[in-house]
Amino acid sequence: MKQLILIFVFGFSLLAHAQEGGDPARSNSGNPSAEQVPNPEAIRSSQALTAEANEDLADSDFVQAEAKFRRAIAKSEANSAAPYNLGNAYYTDGSYGEAFGRYKEAGDRAGAKGDKHKAYHNMGNVYMQQKQYQNAVEAYKESLRNDPTDEETRYNLALAKEMLKKEQEEQKQDDGGENEQEQQDQDQQDQQDSGDEDDAEDKENQEGDNGESDKAQEGESEDDMKKEEEEKKSQNQDEKQDSKDQPKPSDQQPRPNQLSKEQIANLLQAMENEEKKVKEKIDAQKIKGGPPTTEKDW
For residue 146, what is the domain's CATH number?
A: 1.25.40.10
Residue 209 lies in a domain: no
Residue 41 lies in a domain: yes
pLDDT top residue among 222 and 262: 262
- CB distance 45 to 71 below 8 Å: no
Lowest mean pLDDT, pick from 4-8, 145-149, 212-216, 231-235: 4-8
Residue type, 131: K
Distances in whole angstroms, Cα of residue 125 to Cα of each of 13, 47, 151, 240, 283: 10, 26, 15, 121, 170
Residue 111 lies in a domain: yes
Closest CA to 122 of 80, 63, 165, 70: 80
SS3 label, residue 277:
helix
CB proximity list for 162: less than 8 A, separation 6 or greater:
1, 4
Residue 88 lies in a domain: yes
What is the mean pLDDT of the segment spanning 144-169? Answer: 95
Residue 175 lies in a domain: no
Q: Answer whether residue 31 shows pLDDT above 50.
A: no
pLDDT top residue among 8 and 57: 57
Residue 147 lies in a domain: yes
Tell me how many domains the chain contains. Answer: 1
Residue type, 27: S
What was the pLDDT predicted at 204? 63
Query: In whole angstroms, what is the distance from residue 140 CA to residue 16 CA?
Result: 12
Q: Answer whether residue 225 shows pLDDT above 60.
A: yes
- CB distance 76 to 43 below 8 Å: yes
Query: In whole angstroms, what is the distance from residue 102 CA to residue 24 CA?
Result: 19
- CB distance 44 to 180 below 8 Å: no
What is the mean pLDDT of the segment spanning 273-288? Answer: 65
Which run of H or of E encompasses 151?
helix 151-245
Residue 225 lies in a domain: no
pTM of the model: 0.53
**Confidence at 109, pLDDT banded by 50, 70, 90:** very high
**Confidence at 23, pLDDT banded by 50, 70, 90:** very low
Query: In whole angstroms, what is the distance from residue 113 CA to residue 127 CA?
Result: 21
What is the mean pLDDT of the segment spanning 242-246? Answer: 57
Encode pLDDT of 197-214 as tens digits: 666 666 666 665 565 555
Residue 119 lies in a domain: yes
- CB distance 16 to 153 below 8 Å: yes
What was the pLDDT predicted at 218? 59
Query: In whole angstroms, what is the distance from residue 82 CA to residue 68 CA?
Result: 9
Most confident range, picked from 35-44, 148-157, 188-197, 276-285: 148-157
What was the pLDDT predicted at 271? 80
Residue 46: which domain range?
Answer: 2-169
Provide φ and ψ at 249, rounded to 5°: -55, -30
